Homo-oligomer: A and B are copies of this chain.
């Protein structure tokens, strides 16, 4: 009896802290749609102890890709724009760091040349701009960049180009007892700078690509430094591998937008019991960008071909979202 009353007290107390109640709309930026209904129905099913689909809170793990799923990724991953801006700034102090044509192009903002260099060029730019610096210094540089940099088309700060419907979904899931994670091809040190404020996701729930780091006991105290070389690429099969390794539980909900997320959604939804895969389809050329099968960034083929048969919710951005960016209506 005491236990029941206490549980009630917690429920009431938590409710008065929350920013919506059961009667309010948890997803106000989602239009009335099948996508929205299916998400809400899934959450209702797994959180109701009276239903056979009920899942204990500890197992309510939800994982989300970042680029193209929680924030925009056009004309190119924002972290690459940061890398090029940083390289330009570093070259002001010491132009000799631009040792190759790719790095020289990157420092002038010549995205075309960098893109034509493919994967090797990308790694070259990331290594040159992201290594030889302590984690603390690197994260200060990211924070400074986010303060001043503006997107070339929207002119918004990059961390205002988060998708408001997804920010609402993350909050809704947490309010319903889910633990929300990012599992992204982006770098962990980059994302941790803004993810807690932008998404409410703390550092320890951010999985991503990471570089080697070194630990050194210096005179002024030990430091951890970003080294040359990518230690782990958190993309494609790397996503379920990283989830298994780091979280150690299979999620019950996964959200993504490209074929880099296919394995993560496959791994999530192939588990026993209720599962939900959510795929964001970029269909809105007017308010955002429309791209899928042919895009060099966020290419989506397998998800469109196989996702519907696997029961995944395919979100049509143009139809299903009444608002796009957190930073603009």
Judge whether B16 and A192 touch: CB under 8 Å: no
Is A217 an interface position by the 8 A CB rule?
A: yes
Is A124 an interface position by the 8 A CB rule?
A: no
Main secondary structure, interface of A, reads helix
Most buried by B among A2, A210, A247, A248: A248
A positions within 8 Å CB-CB of B: 2-3, 6-7, 9-10, 12-14, 16-17, 58, 61, 135, 179, 188, 192, 202-204, 206, 210, 213-215, 217, 221-222, 224, 237, 240-241, 244-249, 263, 266-267, 270
Most buried by B among A192, A222, A237, A245: A245
CB-contact partner of A13 in B7, B135, B203, B217, under 8 A: B7
Shortest CB-to-CB span from A215 to chain B, Å, is 4
A221-B270, A245-B188, A246-B246 known; A17 vs B13 contact (CB < 8 Å) = no
Shortest CB-to-CB span from A238 to chain B, Å, is 8
Closest to A203 in B: B248
Chain B residues in 8 Å Cβ range of A263 = 215, 217, 222
CB-contact partner of A249 in B6, B7, B9, B203, under 8 A: B203
